[in-house]
Chains A and B, each alone.
Chain A
Amino acid sequence: MDIQDHNATARWEALGSRDARSRGTAMEHISQEVMRRVESIGPIPATVPSPLATAGHSTSDLNDILARLLMMSKRCPFDDVRERCVWLLQNVQDLGVRIPRTLGNGPSRFIPEKEILQVSKVDPRTQSIFEDAFAALGRLDNISLVMGFHPQYLESFLRTQHYLLQMDGPLSLHYRHYIGIMAAARHQCSYLVNLHVNDFLQVGGDSKWLNGLDGAPQKLQALGELNKILAHRPWLLTKAHIEHLLKAEEHSWSLAELIHAVVLLTHYHSLASFTFGCGITPEIHSNGGHTFRPPSLSQYCVCDIANGNGHGHLEERRGNHQVSEVSGEVEVLMERMKQLQECRDEEEASQEEMATRFEREKTESMLVATAEDEECVPSRDVSRHFEDPSYGYKDFSRRGEHVPTFRVQDYSWEDHGYSLVNRLYPDVGQLLDEKFQMAYNLTYNTMAMHKDVDTTMLRRAIWNYIHCMFGIRYDDYDYGEINQLLDRSFKVYIKTMVCSPEKTTKRMYESFWRQFQHSEKVHVNLLLMEARMQAELLYALRAITRYMT
């Protein structure tokens, strides 16, 4: 059985090979296997009232394979595989077996499928990035597809993620995936949890761990606290937390392992933000990504209902209606940027003024309410992967407890964070550095329909606003700019996405920057994600540095 399993995985993997011939053979094997199973179920299952009850095990097996074929037919970057998969599914259907169909529309709930790059129609560069990703993982996930709007960034992102998960590192493979699960579960991101549960099992992880953090080794349980703080209130992280992890006798972490874990945690926290922020839908072959029910039964995809988005069409219409009112939005924004650029040289705010502006922005960010009453129904019970579910983002500056502001000039990623990470986990510092810079500096000099716009100021405002929410201050930034450039609905979106991403809704996504392209909104999401990751990393690394000195 094991060997059979092994062979099967190998075959699926071979579909990602660059060699057309080995793809062909693998495909051949798979179709034989499918046919064999179809035959073994017996003649036309439609005659049997409930095929699931009788055929049991073998049917569900077959269904898995069929779902996977469906995924391949949509997502595989190779034409030949896609065609063969479609053909095979058709054949199976002709034999009278019920085949699955995709649920939802495309990789993202927020972005219409036709806007997103089709796997079949991409420029050679993106094609080769997709092929690489496919060969490495055996899948092309929805996240990558959405990021495909920005191939330069995608490349850097995939390289980093691949290094973190697959290449040399102090932690063993199943630990890495488990930490990914822990981090994603903190934000109830069932998409990422599902993805990594599969990976975790594939690299030989113990399925007992998946029953909850209690089932995992003590060492990982100890990480729960760090995970919790880092995800929601990183400014509370102190060297005592680090010491607690490093000095736990037989369950203690080494510094290098801890850095690896911290990078993974922050990576998945921020990736969860991105997932929700772009409304990534479940993978086609996973639960909730496909259905065997015929289309007539339900019009809406399950997750849309779960997230209160059942009335998408209605909203869309309403959205269109509003566009006319706000058509000047982009121009206003550009005008403001221009003004800021010009007047900055003339009048200079006093120092006190600057300081209060930061404080004001900080307190104001508190008042920006995140969506309150949106109830989220995680499809898998993800809460068992972490403890203390009531712990969430609390605003940085609450009355009563005063946490000192984090000054970037005293501890910056470029000077301090990089050196520490690279020292303990070689090459990762470099990869992260490239990724941050890529996200921060990415621009096509366009804004909605306008060309040749210098967006530096806008990008910096977004970046600094996010850091501001985490209490990180840039001495040399005038926080008044944020108020000028970011309007309220945008702030609501940012705040929700960064602080409690699970509450992001389609309405929020649509209500900010209405005239901007989807690719620009994805760009904003990338900025948010990287800024959040850097903020968390800075706090974690500062705590580690303090521990070390």
Chain B
Amino acid sequence: MEKMSRVTTALGSSAISGRTMFCHLDAPANAISVCRDATQVVVAGRNIFKIYGLEEEQFVEKLNLRVGRKPSLNFSCADVMWHQMEENLLATAATNGAVVTWNLGKPSRNKQDQLFTEHKRTVNKVCFHPTEVYMLLSGSQDGYMKCFDLRKKESVSTFSGQSESVRDVQFSMKDYFTFAASFENGNVQLWDIRRPDRYERMFTAHTGPVFCCDWHPDDRGWLATGGRDKMVKVWDMTTNRAKEIYCVQTIASVARVKWRPERKWHLATCSMMVDHNIYVWDVRRPFIPFATFEEHKDVTTGIVWRHQHDPYFLLSGSKDSTLYQHMFKDASRPVDRANPEGLCFGLFGDLAFAAKESLISGDSNRKPYPGGDRRYPIFFFKKPDLTEQFAHVSSALSVFESSLESRHMDWFVKTARLYLLGGKPFAELCDHNAKVAKELNRPQVSTTWTMLRLMFSDPANLSTPGPNNISKLGNLPLMNSFSMKEMGTESRLDRSKGESRQDNIHLEPGNSLINSNNDENEETEGSEGQAEYMFGDAELDDDDLYSMEHEIQAVEEQEYTLPQEAFPLRHEIMDNPSVPEHLQQDKADSPHASGNEAEVMCLTPIESLSLIAISQPLFSPHLPAHFFCPVVREMLSHYAEQGDVQMAVSVLIVLGDRIRKEIDDLTQEHWYMSYIDLLQRFELWNVSNEVIKLSTCSAITCLNQTSTTLHVNCSNCKRPMSNRGWICDRCHQCASVCAVCHHVVKGLFVWCQGCSHGGHLEHVMNWLKSNSHCPAGCGHLCEYT
């Protein structure tokens, strides 16, 4: 420790300066290391082993250590390290398994000092003890780590990882005796240098090889590891079990990781393949690199901070045969180019919107979200360090909810549940569906079903349903589908770490409450009448309507709930005229059909106020069913375009072959997919499955065939059941026995995810009526949802 402090002071006196610069090496570099006073850097690779002086403006080649006419494999370095205490001492790890030390103080040209050839395979890493002059550690592909005393000819102790190749070894900065080793099989081991027989602890850090690890220079217990699985993880080793405290997901396998000096949360990484950049991460913000150095043209193989107390200089060597000094001020900051806005829909129509505070003007007349930002905890507690921060991105998050009492999609769910799509004669299906639609106050839909029945039923069957079947559209109830309300929700998410505790502020009433679409809203508000007009006139499709509503509701969001006059009106306008209009269009389009259309039209007024109604007697029974196909096709497209894909698909299924050929497969598939997607979002699995089953598109029916594998473990031996059937082939017992009746369950099996006991659905349901504990008697309080 004493030495350390001395070093520190010694270095503190000579301030380093420089600029971003590079020099060409003759060959690709594998590793680099700096001497302790930060004036020289050694570069090692298969065909290069040189020392460069770091000067103000450039690199100057100081020494070529690769001497001799016949370069031996001992010069082919996988790793190099410059001793941090003794400035004449270097160690290299050779690809042929040799560990070599070099003494720069030697007078001869060949500076090679010691040669250890104890490893059988490539040595991946060498590491000097941070404070001991003569202690050197190596880790090799053969699975062994060896500790050398440089005063002796051979290793003093050998550590066997009992597993695959060692990829990295690192002495702890703070604990004199501890070192960490990372392995190709994903493990990290901690060793005590005095106990070569057994590791102190081991944990699995990554899937696949762990290429590198690095102890935090200041924080005793922190170890960063990087692996082939593209992750950098920070482990807290002070607790009993190594705990993962941070995880950064990069885009390529992580070859090296180095903590940044003087910055507690920063570390630099480079990748082994594909990605050539060096990233500096703030581990607390794992989604975007804090800084990036993009100079290299091939993968970076070695990175090192120039001075152990200076965070502004980074040196790097690369496969592209260059050596770079990067200045932090020249780094590119990805966050500056990032787009800090986000928008997302929730399941029930909630809309969350986050945007930079600066984009959102300060004045608003809204109440803050009642919960504050409870749902969005602030993560960053660090004191603002103004010199080096992420750009202050403080975003405001607004959440717009639909009101609880009018779940605007209720009609959809109910319709989906109640519709009958098959299993009965066509006419009955139509009647049933018409009834459903009517009960849900959707007269237009209801009428459509009725019309369909009339169009496509056999004339003979038509006699059964009387004219009283025809829907009465007298009081034209409003479609309640979109009359959702806004609860007035808004919260601000302060994402800047600098302003960590400011979040209180926006609970104060005086503070600016931010309305994301304020300007826009006012505009809309002003022209509401116009908007209505537009709706009625132009038949906006439902998607537009939908999004517009959200915006408009945001405006109307007040403390009191406004009755939403706009919507009823709008629907009236839209619902009523659309069909006749549509029909008239048809008429105009095809004069051939017009006769019939007219006929249909003139049937209208019997006993309802509706513009459309059909009575049977006037129906001409001679018209073939396919005569209506063009009309129906247009009707379906109309519904689909309006956003009511439910109607389109339901009609498609019910009509089946009558209409299928009229509509091209792609469109059908598109409708099916949309409807199934919607159904699944509403968790209507059964309905969606029925639709899949009944669909005639091959692309849809095959959905039922995918991912039908269910992996089960035997309930006795807890091992995976490898063959399908009722008997586990390991313990030869029936695997899935009902805990209530003790018979094998075939069919619906339900089990508690807590204790994994279960059985026949009915049995368990009955059991749970009277008990709350597990029927198997394991004492678990079973929970079923």
Contact = CB atoms under 8 A, between A and B. Distances in A.
Given A476-B120, A549-B297, A414 B73 contact: no
B273 A351 contact: no
A407 interface: yes
Contacts of B28: 410
Nearest to B121: A476
A126 to B, nearest CB: 11
Contacts of B646: none
Interface stretch (B49-57, B491-499, B562-570, B722-730): B722-730
Interface string A335-352: 000000000100010111
Contact of A475 (B95, B208, B273): B95
Contacts of A423: 252, 273-274
B184 A414 contact: yes
Contacts of B723: 18, 124, 127-128, 131
Contact of B273 (A350, A407, A419): A419
A548 interface: yes
Contacts of A348: 117
Given A124-B729, A419-B228, A476 B72 contact: no
B122 interface: yes
A409 B94 CA distance: 10
A463 B725 CA distance: 41
A407 B122 CA distance: 12
Contact of B96 (A128, A414, A475, A545): A475
Contact of A351 (B96, B141, B319): B96
Interface string B422-459: 00000000000000000000000000000000000000
Contacts of B320: 549
A407 B228 CA distance: 21
B48 to A, nearest CB: 13
Nearest to B207: A430
Nearest to B252: A419
Interface residues of B, number: 39
Nearest to B45: A410
B297 A125 contact: no
A295 to B, nearest CB: 38
Query: Main SS of the interface on chain A?
Result: helix
Contact of A354 (B73, B121, B209, B253): B73
A476 B95 contact: yes
B612 interface: no
A124 B730 CA distance: 9
B276 interface: yes
A420 B184 contact: no
B298 interface: yes
Contacts of A549: 276, 297-299, 319-320
Interface string B261-296: 000000000001110100000000000000000000
A415 interface: yes
A418 interface: yes
B225 interface: no
B272 A407 contact: no
A419 B252 CA distance: 7
A407 B95 CA distance: 10
Interface in A449-482: 475-476
Given A125-B722, A348-B117, A419 B274 contact: yes
A79 to B, nearest CB: 14
B73 A475 contact: yes
Contacts of A416: 272-273
A355 interface: yes
B76 A475 contact: yes
Contacts of A415: 209, 211, 228, 253, 272-273
B70 interface: yes
Interface string B499-527: 00000000000000000000000000000
B596 interface: no
Interface string B109-125: 00000000101111000
Contact of B72 (A125, A351, A420): A351
Contacts of A414: 184, 209, 228
A352 B72 CA distance: 7
Contacts of B46: 407, 409-410
Given A125-B722, A549-B298, A549-B299, A476 B273 contact: no
Interface string B56-95: 0000000000000010111010100000000000000011
A352 B70 CA distance: 8
Interface in B14-39: 28
B317 interface: no
| Of listed A348, A350, A414, A548, residue having the most chain B CB within 10 A | A414
B97 interface: yes
Contacts of A409: 46, 76, 78, 95, 122
Interface in B126-168: 141
A359 to B, nearest CB: 13
Contacts of A127: 723
A423 B271 CA distance: 13
Given A344-B120, A409-B46, A476-B122, A419 B96 contact: no
Contacts of A352: 70, 72
Contact of A419 (B74, B122, B253, B724): B253
Given A128-B722, A352-B70, A418 B122 contact: no
A415 B184 CA distance: 10
Contacts of B274: 419-420, 423, 545, 548
B232 to A, nearest CB: 15
Contacts of B120: 344, 476
A320 to B, nearest CB: 40
Contacts of B70: 352
Interface in A217-254: none
Contacts of B298: 549
Interface in A381-430: 407, 409-410, 414-416, 418-420, 423
A178 B704 CA distance: 29
A155 to B, nearest CB: 10
A415 B211 CA distance: 9
A377 to B, nearest CB: 43
A23 B374 CA distance: 59
B712 to A, nearest CB: 14
Contacts of B94: 475
Contacts of B97: 475-476
A125 B46 CA distance: 47
Contacts of A418: 208, 228
B141 A476 contact: yes
B253 A355 contact: no
Nearest to A355: B73
B73 A18 contact: no
Interface string A351-371: 110110000000000000000
B274 to A, nearest CB: 6
Interface string A18-31: 10000000000000
Interface in A99-120: none
B286 to A, nearest CB: 20
A419 B95 contact: no
A115 B70 CA distance: 54
Interface of A: 18, 124-125, 127-128, 131, 344, 348, 350-352, 354-355, 407, 409-410, 414-416, 418-420, 423, 433, 475-476, 545, 548-549
30 contacts: A18-B724, A124-B729, A125-B722, A127-B723, A128-B729, A351-B73, A351-B74, A352-B70, A354-B73, A407-B95, A409-B46, A409-B122, A410-B28, A410-B46, A414-B184, A414-B209, A414-B228, A415-B211, A415-B273, A419-B228, A419-B252, A419-B273, A475-B94, A475-B122, A476-B122, A476-B141, A545-B273, A548-B274, A549-B297, A549-B299
Given A420-B273, A423-B273, 14 more contacts: A352-B72, A354-B73, A410-B46, A415-B228, A475-B76, A475-B94, A475-B96, A476-B119, A476-B120, A476-B121, A545-B273, A549-B276, A549-B298, A549-B299
Which 3 A-B pairs have CB atoms at the shortest separation, nearest pair first? A351-B72, A475-B95, A419-B273
